[in-house]
Amino acid sequence: MKKNMYLKSVIMLSMFCFLSLSVAEARIKLVALPKRADTIIRLDNPQFTLIEEERVLTLQQGLNKVDFSWNGVSIDPDSIRIDILSHSDQVTLLNVSYPPNENALVWEISSAGAREEKIRVSYLLSNIDRLITYKSVADKAETQVNFKSHLILRNFSGEDFANAKVLLDYGESFEEGIRHEETKQLLFLKAGTVPIEKVWQWDSKKQIWDPEEVDQNVGIPVHYRITNTTDSNLGQNALWNGKMRVFQLDGHGSTILLGEDAVDLTPVGEDMEVYIGDSRDLVVTQRKMVDKQTNIRRNTSGRVVLYDNEEQVTAKIENFKDTNAKLKMVQHIPGEWDMHSCNFEYKKENANTIEFEIDVPAQGKAELVMHYFRRNIRN
């Protein structure tokens, strides 16, 4: 099997020993095929995968040519590097040449003596990469999750790796072989218990104002908020972007799937927001009860040139659940404005966005009333 794997390898490192230095075509004469030793698949850059492979060359005294060629794989030739590891003071890379119409390059290496020399070849290989997935299992009370992450290694590069060290920028490394067209899932991060905050969010720009007017159910998006800090048993590193599936213990020894989301890269100290689904037991009905021009200024022809607009918006929030809910409500008021009255405290997120956190009791209601003037609107 191992032999077979090796034969399938499409990246070749060949060594030629020259009898006569002037014969450039002598590449085909005497070939010693150094075996691939330690290989590292480094996946810390999400766009590019770096392969590092160590091989032992049997060098002759004088000039040696080492041929590196590939077929059926995609290697960025400019990324190919060679490092002399054992005797860097006595072994020198003289030049690199590229044979015509071939996926290959030839290193000319000068050695002070005949010896075995360990080298490391590194290059960027296409179509081998990794994905990160997350799985969280929430408790019944939805206060914490059991948090883990998998590394998905996908090799469609054309090259088989019989054994390699797979590295990310954090987490455990893996000693794994991966064949061409193979996908492998490996457990990569097990954070244990991580506290969560459950947030319902209604945004006046995104959600429908009057659910009665539409035939489908209008849900209110529900998020789990996970903070990437050590207090949360995380916080060692940024959490990569990836797909998260959230399950919940059902109290009968099984689980249900709550939902899944594509989460963004979450640096240390930041929040990861996981959109799991929509609540249909929290209903917001928002209506504009007053919408009229005031303080109208006209030009000499009687045309309205400037006015204020008086608006009163009411949002009725009904909680049909048997637990309290904290609704984050985002309201948008364009242009220049001032609040005349508002029955809830709000935080100004930016010039035109205000945010409320409204507690709605179990099986209860709350009503937000905001009365504001949009000022100096030009006609």
Partner 1 sequence: MKKNILALLFLFLWPNISHAKIDLVILPTQDSVQLTIYNSADLTLVKETRFLTLKEGFNELQFSWANTLIDPTSLEISSKKKTDVINVRSLKYPPKIKNVGLWNIHSRISGQVPVEISYLTSGLSWRAFYSGTLTPDEKEMSLKGYVLVTNNSGEDYANAQVRLIVGQVHLVDQISSLALRSAPYSTPYQAKTDSNSIHAFQNGRALDYGDYSDVTASRSFKKYRRKAKAVLKEGLSEYFLYTIEGRETIPNGWSKRLPSFDVGKVPVVNLYKYEEERYGSQVVRFLSFKNDQDHQLGATPIPGGMLKVFRHVDQEHHLSYEGQSRFKYIPIDEDVELNLGEAGDVVVKPMLINFKTENYLFDRYGNISGWDEVYTYKIAVKNTREVPVKIEIKRNFNVQKWDVQHQGDYGAFEAIDADTIQYTLGMQSQENKEFMYILRVFQGRRGDGG
Site for partner 1 in 33-92 (CB under 8 A): none
Q: Which of 105, 222, 317, 368 binds partner 1 (CB under 8 A)?
A: 222
Residue 70 to residue 54: CA distance in whole angstroms: 16
Chain centroid, CA 30 distance in Å: 48
Our CB check for partner 1 shows the closer of 332 and 348 to be 332
**Which among 22-30, 78-86, 320-328, 333-341 is the span making contact with partner 1, rule CB under 8 A?**
320-328
* Residues 142 to 161 in contact with partner 1, rule: CB under 8 A: 142, 152, 154, 156
Closest listed residue to residue 261, CA positions, set 273, 249, 271: 273
Strand partners, 255: 249
Q: Are strands 197-203 and 325-332 parallel, antiparallel or unpaired?
A: parallel
Asked if 54 and 120 count as a contact pair (C-beta separation under 8 A), the reply is yes
266 DSSP 8-state letter: B
186 binds partner 1 (CB under 8 A): yes
- DSSP conformation letters of 191-219: EEEEE-EEEEEEETTTS-S-GGGSSS---
In the complex, the smallest distance separating the C-beta of residue 134 from partner 1, rounded to whole angstroms, is: 12
Beta bridge partners of 260: 245
Binding mask 234-273 for partner 1 (x = CB under 8 A): ---------x-x--x-xxx-xxxxxxxxx-----------
342 to 136, 285, 318, 347, 360: CA distances (angstroms):
39, 17, 19, 12, 17
Given 71, 88, 97, 185, the residue binding partner 1 (CB under 8 A):
185
What is the residue type of 93?
L
Among 108, 273, 278, 355, binds partner 1 (CB under 8 A): 278
φ, ψ of residue 312 in degrees (nearest 5): -125, 120
Contact flag: residue 14 with partner 1 (CB under 8 A): no
Does the protein bind partner 1 through residue 195 (CB under 8 A)? no
Pick the closest to residue 312 from 289, 330, 345 (CA basis). Answer: 289
> CA-CA distance, 156 to 164, in Å (whole number)?
16
292 contacts partner 1 (rule: CB under 8 A):
yes
Residue from the set 11, 13, 15, 138 that interacts with partner 1 by CB under 8 A: 138
| Interaction between residue 175 and partner 1 (CB under 8 A) | no
Which residue among 133, 201, 229, 241 contacts partner 1 (CB under 8 A)?
133
- 165 is a contact residue toward partner 1 (CB under 8 A): no
Q: By CB under 8 A, tell whether 283 contacts partner 1.
A: yes
Looking at residue 234, the DSSP 8-state letter turns out to be -
| Single residue of 31, 32, 94, 289 touching partner 1 by CB under 8 A | 289
Shortest reach from residue 122's CB to partner 1, in Å:
19
Q: How many residues bind partner 1 (CB under 8 A)?
A: 71
SS3 label, residue 75: strand
**Binding flags for partner 1, 197-216, as an x/- string (CB under 8 A):** ------------------xx
The one among 61, 92, 173, 295 contacting partner 1 by CB under 8 A = 295
